Amino acid sequence: MKSRVKWIGITTAVIVGLALSAGMTAGEAQPKTNEGGSQVKIDNFTFAPNTLTVPVGTTVQWVNRDDIPHTVVSEDKSTFKSKALDTDDNFSYTFSKAGTYSYFCSIHPKMTGKVVVQ
């Protein structure tokens, strides 16, 4: 009885170990399109990080992890403007000029965020 429990424990450890190493290999093989934390997560009516600082030329991706739709619209409403993003949808914009870009969600205008490009 005791040895059987131990065997199950070892098997679980091996399976978890294999899964982890497989995951790491797959992660390394992917092109690094979002290097340096250039992703903004939308969840619970919040953009996180609320202020993101990136170098010029960075493509920032917003991904909606909330269970209701949100949008990503620049303050001037013309620099960038996403469609309504459903859960797990994403939107990307490449910042080719330095500056501070404030943006908001047009569905919930109290949701605001900022990208600082330098």
Give the shortest CB-115-to-Cu ion separation in angstroms: 17
Q: Which is nearer to Cu ion, 38 or 82 (CB)?
A: 82
Between CA 95 and CA 9 the distance in angstroms is: 50
Q: CB-wise, 21 or 51, nearer to Cu ion?
A: 51
Residues 79 and 60: their CA atoms lie apart, in Å, by 13
Query: Of 111 and 117, which CB lies nearer to Cu ion in the complex structure?
Result: 111
Residue 70 touches Cu ion, criterion: CB under 5 A: yes
Q: Give yes or no for residue 65 binding Cu ion (CB under 5 A).
A: no
Are 90 and 64 contacting, i.e. CB atoms less than 8 angstroms apart?
yes
Q: Does 48 bind Cu ion (CB under 5 A)?
A: no
Query: What is the token pair recorded at 43?
Result: 């969840």
- CA of residue 57 relative to chain centroid, distance: 18
Which residues of this protein are in contact with Cu ion, per CB under 5 A?
70, 105, 107-108, 111
